[in-house]
Amino acid sequence: METVVSFSGVTYAHASHADAALKGRRDNTGIDSAADARFAGVAEITLEIDRGDVVALVGRSGSGKSTLLKLVNRMLMPHSGSVVVEGRDTREWDPIALRRRTGYVLQDIGLFPHMTIEENLTLVPRLDGWDVDRRHIRAAELLDLVDLPRDFASRWPRELSGGQRQRVGVARALAIDPPILLMDEPFGALDPVTRTELQREFRRIQRQLQQTAFLVTHDIAEAFTLGTRVGVLDAGRLVICDTPASVARSEDPRVKQLMPALPRDLPA
């Protein structure tokens, strides 16, 4: 199996916590044990994401989920260890080139209000030098992919519902067939019915494209629904990353505390 992203012993501490987390008496992970409870960042993360995997990270606010995403596309750089994307350490990547190779889906969608839907969809292809005809064809393909009418291409973001805008956000992230899709609470701002519909759509698209994805969520049910593997983060540490069934059987108390929120009737 081809590995798309790997973390090897990665530690990152946010500036306001770095001194507290990295000074004084150290345990065998290199993090000050006295400061560990207030550690903000990630500590000694080792993880591989293979092609076609959907790794869904779940954990409390401040556990380090979004930090890990930002380490993939070099919005953050590890203080120790290495993050490798497509065989190259992120330190060796040009940051702009790397970010164009990693699709990003945000909770707040982030469509540009002064651009039409087609212009939003084809922003990265335009920056990548695609000609007008090729961009127009790709916009139609992307609208088809997320089950939106092609005549939406000429509309403005304000003319779409929240769910429709989020579909456009997913499509835009896939515009140049990135090897990995990063998703930061992608459906968290939607109402429950729309959220369920979008989760179902994402599962369909992922199976169709065999898209590799790395997503974070506060919702254990969403992690189990979307992930081929589920990772649990606690205080910056990766407690487990395994199949949903294996995570559900875990006896670790940091994992078990999440299980009461898991519905019994999750989709297969």
Q: For residue range 140-153, what is the model confidence (pLDDT) as tens digits? A: 999 999 999 999 99
The reported pLDDT for the residue numbered 29 is 44
Q: Is 80 exceeded by the pLDDT of residue 39?
A: no
CA–CA gap between residue 135 and residue 112 (Å, rounded): 17
Q: Is 90 exceeded by the pLDDT of residue 112?
A: yes
Look at residues 263, 206, 260, 253 and name the one whose alpha carbon lies nearest to residue 232. 253
The reported pLDDT for the residue numbered 40 is 65
DSSP state of 34: G
> SS3 for 23?
coil
Overall average pLDDT of the 209-217 stretch: 94
Q: Is 60 exceeded by the pLDDT of residue 27?
A: no
- State the chain's mean pLDDT as an integer: 88
Range of weakest confidence among 23-37, 58-72, 98-112, 183-197: 23-37
Q: How large a percentage of the chain has pLDDT more than 70?
A: 88
The reported pLDDT for the residue numbered 21 is 45
Q: Is 60 exceeded by the pLDDT of residue 174?
A: yes
Overall average pLDDT of the 161-167 stretch: 91
Convert the pLDDT of each residue in 179-194 to its tens digit: 999 999 888 878 889 8
CA–CA gap between residue 135 and residue 52 (Å, rounded): 26
Overall average pLDDT of the 42-67 stretch: 94
Convert the pLDDT of each residue in 65-97 to its tens digit: 999 999 999 999 999 999 999 999 999 999 999
The reported pLDDT for the residue numbered 32 is 43
Alpha helices in the chain (DSSP H): 15-22, 65-72, 95-100, 117-121, 123-127, 132-145, 162-173, 192-209, 220-226, 244-248, 253-256
Residue 16 pLDDT class (50, 70, 90 cuts): low
Give strand pairing partners of 188. Answer: none
The reported pLDDT for the residue numbered 22 is 47
Q: Nearest 5 degrees, angle CA 128-CA 134-CA 135?
A: 65
Q: Is 90 exceeded by the pLDDT of residue 31?
A: no
